[in-house]
Amino acid sequence: MSERKIIDARGTYCPGPLMELIAAMKQAEVGDELEILSTDEGSVNDVPEWINKVGHEMVGTTQEGDVWHIVVRKAK
Amino acid sequence: MKILIVGGGMGGTIVANNLARRIGTEVRAGKAQITMLSASDRHMYQPGLLYTSIGRLAPDELYRDQRSLLEPEIEFHVDPVETFDLDNNRVVTKSGKTHSYDQLVIATGSRAAPETIPGLAENSVNCYTEAAALEMLRQVRDFKGGTVAVVVGVPHKCPMIPLEVTFVLHDYFKDKGIADKVQFQYTYPIGRLHALAPVADWAKGEFARLGINTTTLFNMKEVDGNKIVHSEEGETVDADLLISVPPHRGMEVIEKNEMGANGFIPTDRLSLRMEGRDNVYIVGDTTNLPISKAGSTAHFEAETVAENLAALIKFGTTVRDYDGKVFCFIEAGKERATYAMFDYNNPPAPKAPNKAVHWFKMAYNQLYWASARGLL
Ligand SMILES: Cc1cc2nc3c(=O)[nH]c(=O)nc-3n(C[C@H](O)[C@H](O)[C@H](O)COP(=O)(O)OP(=O)(O)OC[C@H]3O[C@@H](n4cnc5c(N)ncnc54)[C@H](O)[C@@H]3O)c2cc1C
């Protein structure tokens, strides 16, 4: 596994955190972890919804102040 | 001070003109120099391509002579850069010339890359280049009925295109009198119809009214020869006419020079400097910032960079950060439009569409040229 890639999508609305994650996921290798930083609370639901639908793995979600750190792993 | 601007599109042109107005005296006194290198002697109004793809705007109406848009203090060469030698503050062009600089601005834009999804280039049409828009016109004009599917890759430039192309084609087939023979299937990568939640809510009502089917969380994996699109999520969409918003990449020159994955250059979201470089600024679609790849983004970034470059000459320091500002018109049909404006600290809150905004958008199609010249 390479080092965790951070996607800083704080304060961005269009295309927004999930679309950035989808684009970054295409570039990642199976097993890579990606951490998305989002100030949009909606990401807490959006990201797992997509990750589960497509079959990747959720690693965890934490909140620091008004920033959510959502960590996922590319599974296929 | 030698300032070199690579790219003569929306971003590069505004940086150059805005800067020329601020430091004209220094340029005329020989204390500063502004040079632009571009890949074309023409400047294209890219939003017009959508209308070319339905035969409403002829290709020659999309272009202006690039030199005519530039302030006289700017030295302009049509000679694309092939090598960026950032360690030695110079670039080498296609013709073999070397240009050195003290400050470099890169605004080479982005390009649709349908070839990155198996089967997409062969089985779909799009409106992202003049040639592609003309092929789209041919297929749209010859279409007699069936399913029109809209598929969307990420990232893509102009976030409004997926919705706009759907509405425009819907109107086109209605005007042609074959609306009853055409079904629409709109897809979108995330779990709603548009990235901006208020726009997605509005589109939901409009699509229901027009009978447009939708599938969300749909990311293209491949397209087979029967125009069946398979998604990463395990679903399929069939089309008789497949309209794509292909995933985009930065320019090949950026990839070849290993300046950023997929041709998007890692950029500081506030200073707009290339990460790890003090004298290289990135503007427009070429940044890797998670914000809209749009002319307005390039415009606001360009104003920030021009002001800072002028300040470097006049004060010896930069004076402001980019605040993440983006402005998008949203055409709502029936000659009504609204707009969304947002930045890193303020989310968008579009108001109800009205006619005045629609007519302003129509006027903007011409005002674009004043905007590129840095007058607006
Ligand atoms: C169909 C369509 C509709 C759109 N609608 C809208 C809209 O409604 N609103 C909106 O805000 N935006 C819209 N856009 C997006 C907008 O046009 C772009 O985001 C904007 O042009 C980006 O500006 P830029 O300066 O980054 O790149 P560009 O304007 O693409 O300019 C890139 C420049 O770099 C030059 N170049 C390339 N390679 C080299 C090289 N190696 N050396 C030197 N120069 C080079 C090119 O010749 C060009 O001059 C639309 C785009 C399309 C295609």
Residue B376 has pLDDT above 80, yes or no: no
What mean pLDDT do residues B257-279 have? Answer: 98
Which ligand 1 atom minimizes the distance to the CA of B285?
26
Give the model's confidence band at B350: pLDDT under 50 very low, under 70 low, under 90 confident, else very high. Answer: confident
Confidence band for A3, pLDDT divided at 50, 70 and 90? confident
Cα–Cα distance measured from residue B262 to residue A32, given in angstroms and rounded to the nearest whole number: 18
Tokens of B220: 């293209």
The nearest CA of chain A is from the CA of B321 a distance in Å of 15
pLDDT of B28 > 60? The answer is yes
**Contact at CB, B232 and A18, closer than 8 angstroms:** no
Radius of gyration of chain A (CA): 11
For B285, the 3-state DSSP assignment is: helix
Determine whether the interchain pair A53/B217 forms a contact, defined as Cβ–Cβ distance below 8 Å.
yes
CB atoms within 10 A of CB B272: 22
Do B2-109+251-314 and B113-248 come out as alike in CATH topology? yes
User: Is the bond into A15 cis (omega within 30 degrees of 0)?
Assistant: yes
3-state class (DSSP) for residue A47: helix
Q: Is B122 exposed, middle or buried (0-12, 13-18, 19+ CB in 10 A)?
A: exposed
Read off the amino acid at residue B209. R
Return d(Cα A26, Cα A8) in angstroms, integer. 17
Strand B146-152: give its sheet, edge to edge.
B213-216, B182-188, B146-152, B241-245
Q: What is the pLDDT of residue A2?
A: 62
In this complex, the residue of A15, A17, A49 whose CB is nearest that of residue B154 is: A15
Tokens of B151: 């598929």
Q: Which pLDDT belongs to residue B104?
A: 99
Q: Is residue B108 pLDDT above 80, yes or no? A: yes
Residues in contact with ligand 1 by the CB-under-6-Å rule are B 6-12, 37-40, 46-47, 49-50, 80-81, 107-109, 127-128, 157-158, 160-161, 251, 253, 284-286, 293-296, 298
Contacts of B291 (CB under 8 A, 6+ apart): A12, A14, B297, B324, B326
Contacts of B267 (CB under 8 A, 6+ apart): B273, B274, B275, B282, B287, B288, B289
Residue A41, chain B, CB below 8 Å: the answer is no
Of B307, B253, B264, give the one whose Cα is nearest residue B15: B307
Phi, psi of A33 (to 5 degrees): -105, 140
Extents of the domains making up chain B:
2-109+251-314, 113-248
Q: In this model, does residue A1 exceed pLDDT 60?
A: no
Nearest to A69 by CA among A2, A22, A10, A19: A10
Q: Average pLDDT of B114-118? A: 98
Distance between CA atoms of residues B282 and B274, nearest Å: 6
Task: Tell me what the pLDDT averaged over chain B comes to.
Answer: 96
What is the C-alpha separation between A15 and B86, in angstroms, rounded? 30
Contact indicator for B162, B194 with CB cutoff of 8 Å: yes
Nearest CA to ligand 1 atom 4: B47
- Which residue of B291, B293, B329 is the best one to mutate when testing the A interface, meaning the one whose CB has the most A CBs within 10 A? B291
**What is the set of active-site residues of A?**
14
Do residues B7 and B302 touch, judged by C-beta distance below 8 A?
Answer: no
Token readout for A21 is 């994650």
Buried b (16+ CB within 10 A) or exposed e, B219-249: bbbebeeebbbbbbbeeebebebbbbbbbbb
Kindly tell me the sign of the dihedral angle through the C-alpha atoms of B225, B153, B150, B216: positive
| A52 contacts chain B (CB < 8 A) | no
Name the phi and psi angles at B43, rounded to 5.
-115, 125
Q: Is the CB of residue B146 less than 8 Å from the CB of residue B183?
A: yes
Assigned fold of B2-109+251-314: FAD/NAD(P)-binding domain (3.50.50)
Question: Domain A4-73 belongs to what topology?
Answer: Translation Initiation Factor IF3 (3.30.110)
Among residues B47, B39, B33, B63, which one has the least CA distance to residue B298?
B47
Domain boundaries, chain A: 4-73
First to last CA, chain A: 14
Residue B366 has pLDDT above 90, yes or no: no
Distance from CA of B155 to the nearest CA of A (A): 6
Longest dimension (CA), chain A: 32
ipTM: 0.95
CATH number of B113-248: 3.50.50.60
pTM of the model: 0.97
How many beta carbons lie within 10 A of that of residue B297, not counting itself?
A: 27
Strand-strand pairing, B90-93 and B81-85: antiparallel
Percent of chain B surpassing pLDDT 90: 92
Q: By C-alpha distance, which of A4, A56, A12, A59 is closest to A33?
A: A4
pLDDT tens by residue, B216-232: 999 999 999 999 999 99
Alpha helices in chain B (DSSP H): 10-28, 49-52, 66-69, 120-123, 130-142, 161-175, 197-210, 252-256, 295-314, 355-372
Look at residue B234 in the predicted model and tell me its pLDDT: 96
What's at B212, amino acid-wise? I
CA B249, chain centre distance (Å): 11
Q: Nearest CA to B292 among A21, A42, A13, A39?
A: A13
